[in-house]
Amino acid sequence: VLSKKYLEIDKLYGPWAAPAGDNRGVLAGVSDYEYSASKAQRDELYGDPNTINPIVFFNTKGIEIYGDKTCLREEGKAMSRVHVRRLVIYVSKLLRKILDGFIYEPNSAATWARANERINSMLDVIRNAGGLSTYQVVIDGTNNTAESILENKMNVVVRLVPFGVVETIEVNLSVDMTGATIV
């Protein structure tokens, strides 16, 4: 069921979309469940140091995936989220396909520029589709030294900055006396 959900998300939103919540986490066609965790139990399962993404039944929404964590326990690390890990896997596969086309090409500035252009074009598509906040590609003389050229290596550095997701919403509500002025 989850692999089918991931395929659906890839097709409709892209592999960088969080496979959880009301918009993408609802498991359509699934009607049977053995147990649904309460809010307190979900908080415990998903809260630090735990990394369990509960699958929960909601009376008004049905059964849905309610979490986006990987087993990486370091909070604040981008790779601790499923949508980021899936983005990295996707980009890595595309990079391999692009860069395979440069095997046995001259290890020169012209080749580096062509590779840089191809990678930037691919990453622009992902950024424009909402998968990346920003990125940087470095294929030049700063990372392709005379030594690496002698070793017949082309060094490529790709830095990705994915979007985070909203996992909690904090609402501050105040009620003032009738006739009060809100500044």
Strands 157-162 and 55-58: unpaired
pLDDT reported for residue 75: 66
Task: Give residue for tokens 């470095």.
Answer: 138
Give the tokens for residue 102: 């440069």
pLDDT reported for residue 121: 98
Global pTM value: 0.86
pLDDT reported for residue 167: 79
Q: Which residues of the chain have pLDDT under 50?
A: none
pLDDT reported for residue 178: 81
